[in-house]
Structure 1
Amino acid sequence: MESPAEILPGVIFYSYLSSQRKEKACVWNQHTLVLQVSGQMILETAEQNINISAGEVLLIHKNQLGTLTKTPGSSGHYETIVISLQEDLMRQIALEEKMEAQRKYTGLPNLCLPNNAFITGYFQSVIPYARSAGHEMTNEMGLLKVKEGVKLILLAVPTLRNFLFDFSEPHKINLEKFMLSNFHFNIPIEKFAQLTGRSLSGYKRDFQKIFNMPPRKWLQDKRLNEAWHLIERKNKKPSAIYLDLGFETLSHFSNAFKKKFGKAPTVG
């Protein structure tokens, strides 16, 4: 079985590992539930740093960028079950249950859910399907499981209806602040535009006004300037930072660094 495996296509996923892995530029387009079955996961965003261990459940807000670090536990295993709360399904639940957001959600974008017996039991009921690659789970059963999970979340924390049932489009956010916090993520310009609540043309236009240069050139310069600071002032090795700064390969990073600063990136 490949990892991650789709248990219900596009909705329920099962991930397992036997060695630590760091994933860059994770983009959550939908609200997402994560059950940590074994091992440990660290979620890092511009606003939060959250560590969850076996038995804990994390709710991640849509329209975010972040980094995941996955570490196996003492048993040597890392397992998670991930449920993507697709907007179409959430709208269906809202109609069926006559639920709607009462006001704009203003709390933390990512939060650990209360570890009560109902939520624990719910995820325990999903684990066998996940470990068998979903062979026994029909689409109907899978969707029922997602609906059950949403209802149990609301039973535990009723105020999360404002989190779950806000179907408004992402509003225009402070582009300068967002880019300064997230420049190191290696994602397409189109995705940056979406996450800041803009069309691609609107994003490029606003970006030019704020930074006085096109997005791709600014991103390259910003990442290289940060690399120079880390290497020259913090004695960081190029091999330890290039991925974290949005470069896909060490050779690409080294060539870009040399072209900008006239020398290869070396410590000391």
Structure 2
Amino acid sequence: METLKVLDYSNVFIASYFTDDRQCSHSNREHTLIYLCSGELEIEEKGKKTILHKGDCAFMRRDNQMLLQKRVKTGKPYRSVVLKFSRKFLREFYQNLDKSALPEYAKRDKKSLCLLPNGRPDIKSLFESILPYFDSDIKPSEDLLKLKMIEGVYILLNTSKDLYASLFDFTDPWKIDLLEYMNNNYMFDLSLEEMANYTGRSLATFKRDFKKLSDLPPQKWLIKRRLETAHELITTGRKKVTEVCFDVGFKNLSHFSKIYKEMYGISPVNSI
């Protein structure tokens, strides 16, 4: 009789147990560490096939599409445990790192799949310590989940110095994604120097890197981004014009009204 069991705790730990073969298309939204307890897993990405056996562990970079073939092997069911690292968690982890200890020449690996060395006791210890929670169906606490995630990150960082750059999503060593940061913080009163610092860059490097991403200079990009959000909020009637002006980062209502009209051909008040 076929048995299928998938347990997902906070979209961080996921355990799969199958007694028949299964195939699925998998899109990694987050960086993922997968460990095979039994059975066999074939991962096909960009035409290349990698097979994981019992005790194997692999790191899958986020934002990559893969085809997974999960197989029962020599009478043993397919069983795997997955550990996911959210962007929020990795940012918090990075903020607490000793920056003076960071490797100087870490390079972001473009490969979407990295097979970790076999037989490492730290890998086996981490995943075997997780299994009892799935076997008993007792959900681990959020504090315990976080401890296991931290343990998983250190496994990766101890595997290769280049994984520092891959894990923390730096386009270059120790630089976080510019557009993601600015899209999350455009409404705050931050100078370009502060934005450069928060994204791990000098001001000159910040401007140079931003030029690769947009035809607009950073200040004009910020104004355009604020106006686009303001236009959406005003036209949908969710907030008053005065509230919108300050919420999106403008300090002066008359200045906001002027540049809004220049962009949309109508004043904010008349857009309601």
Q: Same fold (TM over 0.5)?
A: yes
Deviations 1:105-159 (A, max 9, x none): 13422011112112222212112122223x1511110111011111122123232
Matches within 5 A, 1:158-237: 158-167=161-170, 168-169=176-177
Q: Which amino acid in structure 1 is aligned with residue 6 of structure 2?
A: P
Kindly report the root-mean-square deviation, in angstroms, between the aligned alpha carbons of the 2 structures.
2.5
TM-score (norm 1): 0.57
Q: For the Cα contact (< 8 Å) 1:34–1:81, is it kept in 2?
A: yes
- Tell me: CA distance 1:117–1:67, structure 2 relative to 1, closer, same or farther (3 Å): same
- Tell me: CA distance 1:136–1:5, structure 2 relative to 1, closer, same or farther (3 Å): closer
Query: In the alignment, does 2:120 pair up with 1:125?
Result: no
Q: CA deviation at 1:169?
A: 4.9
Q: Which amino acid in structure 2 is aligned with residue 72 of structure 1?
A: V
- Tell me: CA distance 1:117–1:130, structure 2 relative to 1, closer, same or farther (3 Å): same
Q: CA deviation at 1:50?
A: 1.0
Distance in 2, matches of 1:48 and 1:129, equals 34
TM-score (norm 2): 0.57
Q: For the Cα contact (< 8 Å) 2:61–2:113, is it kept in 1?
A: yes
Q: CA deviation at 1:88?
A: 0.5
Q: For the Cα contact (< 8 Å) 2:109–2:163, is it kept in 1?
A: no
Could you tell me which of 155, 160, 175 is aligned with 1:157?
Answer: 160
Unaligned runs of 5+ in 2: 171-175, 180-212, 214-272
Q: CA deviation at 1:91?
A: 0.8
Q: For the Cα contact (< 8 Å) 1:81–1:130, is it kept in 2?
A: no
Q: CA deviation at 1:165?
A: 1.1
Compare relative contact order (CA 8 Å, sep 6+) and give the higher one, 1 or 2.
1
Unaligned runs of 5+ in 1: 172-197, 199-268
Distance in 1, matches of 2:148 and 2:75, equals 28
Q: Which 4+ residue blocks in structure 1 deviate beyond 6 angstroms?
A: none
Q: For the Cα contact (< 8 Å) 2:85–2:149, is it kept in 1?
A: yes
Q: For the Cα contact (< 8 Å) 1:129–1:137, is it kept in 2?
A: yes
Q: For the Cα contact (< 8 Å) 1:27–1:64, is it kept in 2?
A: yes
What does residue 108 of structure 1 align with? 111
Distance in 2, matches of 1:89 and 1:98, equals 16
What does residue 13 of structure 1 align with? 14
